[in-house]
Amino acid sequence: MVEELTQISFSQLLLSGTFVHVAPYEVLQEKYGVNIQPNVVVLVSLDRYPDLAEGKPIEWKMNIGRKLVEKILDTILPIPFLWTWTEEGVLALLLDFIEINPQDRKREVLFLAEEIQMASDQIGIHVSIGIGNFYDDPASLICSFEEAKKSMSGRFFQGNKLIFHTDMRKDIVESLKIPLTKEKSELFSIVRIGHTEGVVTQMKGIMDRVAEIYNYNEDVFKSEVIDLLMMMSRIVLEAGVSPVSILTNTANVIQDLYHTIRYDKFVMKVCNYAEWLTEQVENIYIRDVSPNIKQAIRYMKENLQKGVSLEEIAHFCHLSRYHFSHLFKKEVGTSVMDFFNKLRIDKSLFYLEKTDSSVQEIANLVGFDDSNYFSRLFKKYINSSPTEYRRGAWRITGKGEKENKEMNELF
């Protein structure tokens, strides 16, 4: 145990790079009784460890850690090495490949990583592995450690039992990024009218595109998606929903998302929260109405762009036109087509406030082929023309401001 703790302590000095403030490497080697000079770091991470360890006692964590260490140490012999835990579920191997030909080192370390995975499988423990570059200067071993950690960010998207080398990572070329302006505008506009099903579908599509555009870089992906949630929260507040639960829940969800280690779980959590946010707006439209009317309103939201007739909506609800019209007016307080057109106008407000799209383009986006007819309806419901409304909105928010301040001042 004493020898083990000594090696762990020495490994921590190397991985942190702090040994340079203590003594020359050779002096520390003699003091700690360490005869090797590691030149590469390999990180062995237990797959799904947070899920596996949740609710488990400390004895379980100690046992699984000991089993993994013993199996790995048997596997990598006779390669000289040191080891230490860098965090729960993540083991760092500091390997000495000094005697191996530099041209063969990468091939050998990849082969070793495969052997570690196979050996771990034998004891029912599945691991993913990250590999840094080789550095013959001990003071640079911290670089190998950081590279090994960074290489594993792709694991967030790709799953379990994987091997990553730092060379696999590609730099993000900012000039190639696509802003997804249309997709985001559509997302925010349907949040504005409380279209829950549409929000989930749109959000999933945007997340897939963001992951692809940013080359599956976990940190950038999470930052982009969380920015979307913050903007959605702001739109919900602007719609008149009480801020008490919105601000608290959004802050808690964001904190949870930053610590989510699997893409599928991240997507599920984002979609669940996006749906909940949008439901808060939806309740403004469908509060205290019967299931048939709720179904009708949701059908209208799904068909805003192409438009539907009164007969089609009634047929969708399995009601006669007369009975449906009477029921809708009684519960909602307005006619079916008045409500439908008001939904389209409400959706257009976002585009007028937040984008540079022309009035004709916006009319098309909300289901009107004729921009003049759109403008007449707009004036009927909003008491101003689309151009006048946009001018007033931009005076308040600033013409170049696409997404306001994305709630930064609220968190």
- Averaged confidence pLDDT in the chain: 86
pLDDT tens by residue, 320-351:
999 999 999 999 889 999 999 999 999 998 89
**Which DSSP string corresponds to 3-48?**
HHHHHHHHHHHHHHTGGGGT--HHHHHHHHT------EEEEEEETT
- Asked if pLDDT for residue 133 goes beyond 80, the answer is yes
Question: CB under 8 Å to 11, separation ≥6 — which residues?
Answer: 82, 83, 84, 92, 94
State residue 394's pLDDT score: 58
d(CA 184, CA 203): 9
- Asked if pLDDT for residue 23 goes beyond 80, the answer is yes
Reduced to 3 states (helix: H, G, I; strand: E, B; else coil), residue 220 is: helix
Return the exposure string of 176-202: e unless at least 16 CB atoms fall within 10 Å of the residue's CB, then b.
eeeebeebbbbbbbbbbbbbbebbbeb
pLDDT tens by residue, 338-396:
999 999 999 998 899 888 889 999 999 999 989 999 999 999 999 999 999 988 865 55
Taking residues 34-39, what's their average pLDDT? 91
State residue 2's pLDDT score: 61
Q: Which two tokens stand for residue 58?
A: 């400390």
Domain definitions of the chain by residue range: 2-168, 170-287
pLDDT tens by residue, 56-97:
999 999 999 999 999 998 888 788 999 999 989 999 999 999
- 202-216, 313-327, 387-401: lowest mean pLDDT where? 387-401
State residue 174's pLDDT score: 47
d(CA 139, CA 14): 7
Question: CB under 8 Å to 335, separation ≥6 — which residues?
Answer: 325, 328, 329
> What would the CATH number be for the domain defined by 2-168?
3.30.70.270
Q: The pTM is what? A: 0.64
**Which DSSP string corresponds to 119-177?**
HHHHTT--EEEEE----SSGGGHHHHHHHHHHHGGGHHHH-SS-EEEGGG-----GGG-
The CB-side HSE value for 297 (13 A sphere, CA atoms) comes to 29
- Asked if pLDDT for residue 403 goes beyond 60, the answer is no
Task: Note the Cα 152 to chain centre separation in Å.
Answer: 16
